[in-house]
Amino acid sequence: MFEDKTLTCKECGAEFIFTAGEQEFYASKGFENEPQRCKNCRDQRKGAKSERETFVGTCASCGQEAKVPFRPREDRPVYCSDCFAKMKED
């Protein structure tokens, strides 16, 4: 039913193979468009999106340094990841 296709990456211009297995997966998920980027360019885009600015504050529970994805405010407590996880368990 599906056959391997050679596509051209719109980002870097390199050719890549859109395998029959990948096409079957896309169809099972209801995706109608073929990929437009090679795996390397897709991975680079994903990495760029996941890089968040982090801010440093002091944990209100243990007093250790806490790196958080938002700018801490004086009127709100900040928790390190360990203390935050403990709070969620309770």
Q: What would the pLDDT profile of 53-66 be if each residue is shown by its tens digit? A: 889 999 999 999 99
Asked if pLDDT for residue 49 goes beyond 70, the answer is no
Per-residue pLDDT at 64: 95
44 in the same domain as 24: yes
**Structurally, how many domains does the chain consist of?**
2
66 in the same domain as 37: no
SS3 63: coil
Q: What's the domain range around 67?
A: 55-89
Q: What is the pTM of this model?
A: 0.52
16 in the same domain as 39: yes
Distance (Å, whole) CA 9 – CA 41:
8
79 in the same domain as 59: yes
Instruction: Tokens for 71, please give them.
Output: 């700018």
Dihedral of alpha carbons 7, 9, 12, 17, sign: negative
34 in the same domain as 63: no
13 in the same domain as 46: yes
